[in-house]
Amino acid sequence: MKKPLMAGNWKMNKTVSEAVGLVKTLKNAVSDVMNIEILVCPAFTALYAVNNEIRGSNINLGAQNLFLEPKGAFTGEISPMMIKDIGCSYAIIGHSERRQYFFETNELVNKKAKAAFVATLVPIVCIGETLKEREDNVTFKVIEKQIRESLSGFTLEQSCSVVIAYEPVWAIGTGKNAYPEQVQEIHCFIRKIYEQMYGKNAADKVRVLYGGSVNPRNVSDLMKKPDIDGYLVGGASLEAESFTKLIRYFK
Ligand code: PGA
């Protein structure tokens, strides 16, 4: 049985004390939740303090990005080992904001995902089409290319443990979430392509999350679809109350 994953992407929000305050409230509110994996991804600056706060709890820690080299003269970058060392078990890779504002390509995303595995981090690889691509009817083509290029060259074990996050760019932070039918359709398609790459076992085992304006009001509709293994949540993970509500939908 796959354990659903509820991941909060805090993006460039929260000072250290705000981040600690949020996770402290969250920790108390969800301490009894065992059937799903809970993950928070604060900014780099808050990872250390948040890790201290969640030690021994059922909350896991993830980074929002990493650099692919293990160490060296890369001013301003953070290596996978540093992220592991600070207490993370996951790293979000290739979020659409990184693809859009920092020009990350499928090729780079793939290298970063592999670098994450070397440091024994689980990469959460993000894919998703833009509004223009959806309107131009090239969604499936774009998604297929992203899957084949961003998720290529994994070992069989890695292909099962990587997490894929489908996040249509037009749904991120816009309040306009994808219809459950649209999500289900793409998730099935992702598994189909993935099966061609790694076989049925990996396609069944890989967790595929949905992300894009998920909130406590629209999650119950999404939950009716069988092929969603969890959520990557931005805005609604910034408040303990709304994130707790989302987590509790799985109970
Ligand atoms: P959102 O962000 O929930 O605020 O739309 C999701 C994400 O970017 O991961």
Model pLDDT, residue 76 = 97
* Structural domain that includes position 145: 5-248
The rounded Å distance from CA 73 to ligand 1 centre is 32
Q: Count of domains in the chain?
A: 1
Nearest CA to ligand 1 atom 7: 234
The tens digit of pLDDT for each residue in 183-218 reads 999 999 999 999 999 999 999 999 999 999 999 999
How far is residue 8's CA from residue 27's CA, in Å, rounded to a whole number? 13
As a whole number, the mean pLDDT across the chain is: 96
The rounded Å distance from CA 251 to ligand 1 centre is 22
**For tokens 């993935």, what's the residue?**
194
Model pLDDT, residue 204 = 96
How far is residue 206's CA from residue 217's CA, in Å, rounded to a whole number? 27
151-156 contact pairs (CB < 8 A, 24+): 151/110, 151/113, 151/125, 151/194, 151/197, 152/110, 152/197, 153/110, 153/114, 154/113, 154/114, 154/117, 154/198, 156/198, 156/199, 156/202
Q: Is 232 in the pocket of ligand 1 (CB under 6 A)?
A: yes
244 burial type by CB count under 10 A (0-12 exposed, 13-18 middle, 19+ buried): middle
Closest CA to 95 of 250, 241, 209, 218: 209
DSSP notation for 205-225: HSEEEEESS--TTTHHHHHTS
Model pLDDT, residue 2 = 87
Closest CA to 145 of 183, 102, 103, 197: 197
**226 within 8 A of 180, measured Cβ to Cβ:** no
The rounded Å distance from CA 129 to ligand 1 centre is 14
Strand 163-166 to strand 122-127: parallel, antiparallel, or no bridges (unpaired)?
Answer: parallel
Contacting residues for 229 by C-beta, under 8 A, at least 6 apart: 2, 4, 5, 207, 208, 209
Strand 59-63 to strand 37-41: parallel, antiparallel, or no bridges (unpaired)?
Answer: parallel
Share of the chain above pLDDT 90, in %: 92
Q: Is 230 in the pocket of ligand 1 (CB under 6 A)?
A: no
The tens digit of pLDDT for each residue in 41-86 reads 999 999 999 999 999 999 999 999 999 999 999 999 999 999 999 9
Model pLDDT, residue 251 = 57
Closest CA to 27 of 6, 57, 4, 49: 57
**Ligand 1, from 64, 127, 163, 172: best to mutate by most atoms within 8 Å of Cβ?**
172
The tens digit of pLDDT for each residue in 81-127 reads 999 999 999 999 999 999 999 999 999 999 999 999 999 999 999 99
Tell me the CA end-to-end span of the chain in Å, nearest whole number.
15
Burial letters 81-98, b for 16+ CB under 10 A, else e: bbbbeebbebbbbbbbbb
Model pLDDT, residue 222 = 86
Tokens standing for 35? 């059937």
Amino acid at 7: A
CATH of the domain at 174: 3.20.20.70
pTM above 0.95, yes or no: yes
